[in-house]
């Protein structure tokens, strides 16, 4: 690491440790999730559009419920992960444009956990059925021979959860290059084979390695908050045997170590500089009497007889501190 980046990193770490960064304290935000839609098709385009509505959690309280415009939507909940979302149906004229707006107030608390060394893989036996959605492979959590072999290698003969999760985190932050962000989601196989993957690629590999060892885990999707540019972001959570969720953010941890970011996120800590919108991957959505699967619920999900590329979508997420 270049000298000046190393100095910047140490200053950032010291300020965070002293509680001088805003994300080390609870934050109140007034948030706006805005979607601009343009029909690129030369004919009328009947589309269904889904956007996520933010969840309540121990670290995220929606203090003013989401206000959605335009009218004519209906709300629903996915049956697997219990994510909430809103659905509209539009018949867009050729090259017509449309704006979707969601506004809400939210209190976000930092999630800071010290992982106990007393937890063991054996402690999950009674939780397997209850948390089955977070133990199930899918299009993105691919338990290939390569993934399973790596998981077993990292775990070795250890049963101690602290050592296993630390080994997974250490491997990902040291060996997976960051880059090439996409609005969808890479698979765990992509993370091991492509030259670079984004935050979601880091997280899906972390989750897949956990699932391969029968440890419940999930991707959390949302946006950064409290910055001038609140870009999309994803991190991960691992269920502990006491049924609390342990946060990890391997992409931010790597980037912080390299001196390329001063935003929060590492093994056991994510700050109040983010808003979660969904949990899980390959999320089942009820749309027009059929089930469609979204990789994650972060950006809008579109269904159109002319294909998803028949419309242009631009999503912006802005926050103001209260």
Tell me how far apart the alpha carbons of residues 167 and 154 are, in angstroms, rounded to a whole number: 6
Q: What is the DSSP string of 120-168?
A: BGGGGGGGTTTTGGGS---SSS---HHHHHHHHHHHTT--BHHHHHHHH
Tokens representing 61 are 């309280």
Q: Give the per-residue pLDDT at 44.
A: 96
Residue 104's nearest CA partner among 56, 59, 54 is 54
Residue in this structure with the two tokens 């991957």, named with its chain if needed? 281
210 neighbors 131 (Cβ within 8 angstroms) = no
Boundaries of CATH 2.60.40.2250 in the chain? 26-109+286-321
Q: Give the per-residue pLDDT at 244.
A: 97
Per-residue burial over 206-222, b if 16 or more Cβ lie within 10 Å, else e, is bbbbbbbbebbbbbbbb
Report the run of H or E that residue 202 belongs to, with start and end.
helix 199-212
Radius of gyration in angstroms for the set of CA atoms belonging to the chain, rounded to a whole number: 20
Q: Give the per-residue pLDDT at 3.
A: 67
pTM over 0.85: yes
Half-sphere exposure of 200 (CA within 13 A, CB side): 25
8-state DSSP, 71? S
Spacing of C-alpha 95 from chain mean position: 32
Tell me how far apart the alpha carbons of residues 302 and 258 are, in angstroms, rounded to a whole number: 37
3-state DSSP assignment of residue 283 = strand
Boundaries of CATH 3.10.620 in the chain? 3-23+110-278
Q: Give the per-residue pLDDT at 226.
A: 98
Residues 6 or more apart in contact with residue 2 via CB below 8 angstroms: 259
8-state DSSP, 231? -
31 neighbors 106 (Cβ within 8 angstroms) = yes
Tell me how far apart the alpha carbons of residues 79 and 285 are, in angstroms, rounded to a whole number: 8
Q: Please state which CATH class domain 3-23+110-278 belongs to.
A: alpha beta
Q: Give the per-residue pLDDT at 93.
A: 97
Tokens representing 305 are 């007889």
CATH architecture of the region 26-109+286-321 = Sandwich (2.60)
Q: Give the per-residue pLDDT at 9.
A: 73
76 neighbors 286 (Cβ within 8 angstroms) = yes
Q: Give the per-residue pLDDT at 10.
A: 78
Spacing of C-alpha 44 from chain mean position: 34
Q: Give the per-residue pLDDT at 1.
A: 60
Tens digit of pLDDT at every position of the chain (322 positions):
666 667 777 777 788 888 889 999 999 999 999 999 999 999 999 999 999 999 999 999 999 999 999 999 999 999 999 999 999 999 999 999 999 999 999 999 999 999 999 999 999 999 999 999 999 999 999 999 999 999 999 999 999 999 999 999 999 999 999 999 999 999 999 999 999 999 999 999 999 999 999 999 999 999 999 999 999 999 999 999 999 999 999 999 999 999 899 999 999 999 999 999 999 999 999 999 999 999 999 999 999 999 999 999 999 999 999 9
């Amino acid at each position: 690491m270049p000298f000046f980046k190393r100095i910047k990193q140490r200053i950032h770490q010291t300020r965070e440790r002293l509680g001088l960064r805003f994300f080390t304290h609870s934050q109140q935000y007034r948030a706006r999730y805005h979607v601009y839609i343009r029909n690129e098709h030369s004919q009328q385009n009947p589309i269904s559009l889904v956007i996520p509505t933010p969840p309540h959690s121990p670290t995220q309280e929606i203090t003013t419920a989401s206000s959605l415009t335009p009218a004519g939507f209906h709300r629903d909940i996915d049956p697997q992960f219990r994510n909430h979302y809103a659905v509209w149906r539009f018949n867009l004229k050729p090259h017509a444009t449309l704006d979707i707006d969601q506004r809400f107030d939210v209190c976000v608390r930092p999630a800071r956990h010290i992982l106990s060394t007393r937890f063991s893989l054996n402690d999950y036996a009674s939780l397997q059925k209850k948390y089955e959605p977070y133990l199930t492979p899918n299009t993105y959590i691919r338990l290939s021979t390569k993934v399973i072999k790596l998981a077993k290698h990292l775990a070795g003969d250890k049963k101690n959860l602290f050592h296993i999760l630390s080994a997974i985190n250490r491997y990902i932050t040291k060996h997976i290059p960051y880059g090439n962000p996409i609005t969808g989601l890479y698979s765990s196989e992509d993370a091991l084979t492509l030259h670079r993957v984004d935050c979601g690629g880091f997280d899906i590999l972390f989750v897949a390695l956990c699932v391969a060892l029968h440890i419940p885990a999930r991707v959390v999707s949302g946006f950064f908050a409290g910055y001038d540019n609140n870009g999309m972001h994803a991190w991960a959570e691992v269920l502990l045997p006491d049924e609390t969720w342990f946060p990890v953010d391997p992409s931010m941890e790597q980037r912080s170590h390299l001196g390329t970011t001063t935003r929060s996120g590492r093994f056991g800590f994510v700050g109040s500089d983010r808003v979660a919108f969904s949990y899980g991957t390959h999320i089942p959505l009820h749309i027009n009497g059929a089930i469609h699967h979204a990789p994650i619920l972060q950006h809008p999900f579109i269904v159109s007889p002319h294909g998803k590329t028949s419309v242009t979508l631009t999503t912006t997420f802005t926050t103001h501190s209260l």
